[in-house]
Structure 1
């Protein structure tokens, strides 16, 4: 599910979960646990052609409302664990980073990309954003957040760089070495000063997340479990099987 390789003050967290690193409740919990257990700088990456292709939509359809509710709780918990990790975090986007996979990358302090496509495709299948995901997107993309989120498109590395979705584009062979070098450089700074600066930068997003009401959560859950959303998810899955 995950492999973790520690290199001095940096740990590489590699998603190895199925063919495209699709997010289910088990993967989310594993990521949250890995982040919470680490006092190192973290480099997140994927396997093969995918960083993470986002939510395992088949599990959403098959699991019904109980699974979806537990999944959304685990999803927000994972996003916040990465976003609030006190040490440096770097996303080494080796391939497709779609929807939740894109939010995972945006939750990191720095993002590098070598190939594939990245984007917030949630609205294309009718699923609303949990507040945690939306505020992380707003923090990372600033004035471009609405354009990227509402457009629900996926883009290649050069366009992602232009939109501010990633900070650097590298070759595939350079991605991990460059990400490790950058994480090592950031980790050499005062851990307490880095933690404090990060907390200050993240305060508006975290305050907005913490202001989320039960009604907000209920509206998001209703959107994920509606008949229309399930119809759209089913159509998207059927289209994938025809490729």
Structure 2
């Protein structure tokens, strides 16, 4: 990902991610690594765009966000996330879509503070996190609304391994190659699909959540809650 200094997830990035992951299904590559450019994996949803765009933007953005997560989660090939910097909110969910998550040592944090932002999760995000850390873990992540340093994230199961920053790229490629290994691609794809089937079926079953989720995003953008959160984390009042 190379989309601004922190790979903030706006409409265009989400659309590009969904398109790229779906293109990779037919690509000859046996495995995939996703990472961020510059200093961040992804700082999450571009809240400035959401507050500036209002209802009309949110109505387009939320389906695109969910589509990006689903395209990554459904990828039938080995997917490794190389978390090179902060992976916040949507960035954390995107990393959790991977089969293996490696994070660089250092001060960067990962987590899902959406409740503090004032907005609920699309159903696919909850299913992705639940598949990554289990029912108890997803409750802690979501209700706690915290971000975590790499070592704590590894204890929670959100990160599989914490590695030296200089080794992150090579370790991620090696992990992807190991997943592909000597397994026939169609066999890997079938097994991965089986493991993720229940989460995707629940996503479809609870599609009626989309409208109330969007309503709360619009409400708390309009009443200033999201803007106040943004000010609190950027230091601008």
Q: Which category describes the TM-score, using the shorter chain as reference length?
A: over 0.9
Paired residue for 1:131, among 123, 127, 132?
Answer: 123
Is residue 7–residue 40 contact of structure 2 (8 Å, CA) maintained in 1? Answer: yes
Query: Is residue 2:224 matched to residue 1:231?
Result: yes
Q: In the aligned structure 2, how far is the partner of 1:227 from the partner of 1:203? A: 33
| Structure 2 unaligned residues grouped into runs of 5+ | none
CA drift of 1:201 comes to: 0.4
Query: Is residue 2:184 matched to residue 1:190?
Result: yes
Paired residue for 1:92, among 71, 77, 82?
Answer: 82
Relative contact order higher in (CA < 8 Å, ≥ 6 apart): 2
Is residue 61–residue 230 contact of structure 1 (8 Å, CA) maintained in 2? Answer: no
| Structure 1 unaligned residues grouped into runs of 5+ | 1-14
TM-score (norm 1): 0.90
Correspondence 1:52-91 to 2 at 5 A: 52-91=42-81
Q: Matched residue of 1:206: which SS? A: helix
CA distance change for structure 1 residues 155 and 230 in 2, over 3 Å: closer, same or farther? farther
Is residue 127–residue 229 contact of structure 1 (8 Å, CA) maintained in 2? Answer: no
Q: In the aligned structure 2, how far is the partner of 1:45 from the partner of 1:229? A: 33
In the comparison of the two structures, how many residue pairs are matched?
228
Is residue 73–residue 98 contact of structure 2 (8 Å, CA) maintained in 1? Answer: yes
Paired residue for 2:138, among 145, 148, 155?
Answer: 145
Match of 1:220 in 2: 213
Say which structure is richer in strand.
1
Query: Is residue 2:20 matched to residue 1:34?
Result: yes
CA distance change for structure 1 residues 200 and 68 in 2, over 3 Å: closer, same or farther? same
Q: Matched residue of 1:22: which SS? A: coil
Which portions of structure 1, spanning 4 or more consecutive aligned residues, are displaced by more than 3 angstroms? 227-230
Paired residue for 1:173, among 162, 166, 170?
Answer: 166
Q: In the aligned structure 1, how far is the partner of 2:23 from the partner of 2:48? A: 30
Q: In the aligned structure 2, how far is the partner of 1:209 from the partner of 1:169? A: 30
Q: In the aligned structure 1, how far is the partner of 2:8 from the partner of 2:154? A: 24
Is residue 223–residue 229 contact of structure 1 (8 Å, CA) maintained in 2? Answer: no
CA distance change for structure 1 residues 105 and 222 in 2, over 3 Å: closer, same or farther? same
